[in-house]
Structure 1
Amino acid sequence: MWKLPKEYNHFAFGVIQAGVTCAVASAIASMQFVAEGTFVSHWLRAYLYSWVAMLPVVVVAAPFIRWLANRITR
């Protein structure tokens, strides 16, 4: 299996975290379109926009969040 070098772990985490978070949030926000039968098109558009916006936020915030979590736990 193809793997990224360890030094890219932070970016891989960011891509996966942003993808999962945006998929769930955009699906919830698009639920109103289920009755119209346009859920998938609305969800995909919302997912792509939110992922592009969230990816840099997650990549920048993840080290701080990990540091904070380590500080408040044993």
Structure 2
Amino acid sequence: MIPARFEPALFALLLSGLMSLVVSAISTWRSAGLAEGFPRLWLGAWLASWLVAFPLVLAIAPIARRAVRRLVRSDQENSR
């Protein structure tokens, strides 16, 4: 098993990988259609987008967490 201290990085890796996989598939399909060589085009687009997405998720996740904390009431506030 992977140590718990790597959880944020592993989460970012999986999230960015899956999201970039889906988004690049849609983008490649919209621009090239289901043309011959689609899987190769898609793989190239996916790998390039994942290289950008992973560091961005690592950098943006703390900002997003802080924003969510400000937007969501705590359980103590809800019980009043």
TM over 0.5: yes
Shorter-chain TM range is 0.7 to 0.9
1:56-67 equivalence runs, <5 A = 56-67=55-66
The amino acid of 1:16's aligned partner reads L
- Correspondence for 1:26: 24
Aligned residues: 71
CA contact (8 A) 1:22 1:51 kept: yes
Secondary structure at the counterpart of residue 2 of structure 2: coil
Structure 2 length as normaliser, TM-score? 0.80
Which consecutive residues of structure 2, in runs of 5 or more, have no partner in the other structure? 74-80
Instruction: Report the Cα distance in structure 2 between the residues aligned to 1:51 and 1:13, rounded to whole angstroms.
Output: 14
- Correspondence for 2:68: 69
How far off is 1:9 after superposition? 0.9
The two structures, once aligned, show a CA RMSD in angstroms of 1.1
Sequence identity percentage: 30
Which consecutive residues of structure 1, in runs of 5 or more, have no partner in the other structure? none
1:30-69 Cα offsets, whole Å, 9 max, x none, are: 11330x2221011000000000111111011111111211
The answer as to 2:60 corresponding to 1:55 is no
1:4-15 equivalence runs, <5 A = 4-15=2-13
The amino acid of 1:12's aligned partner reads L
Structure 1 length as normaliser, TM-score? 0.86
Instruction: Report the Cα distance in structure 1 between the residues aligned to 2:27 and 2:70, rounded to whole angstroms.
Output: 33
- Tell me which structure has the larger Cα radius of gyration: 2
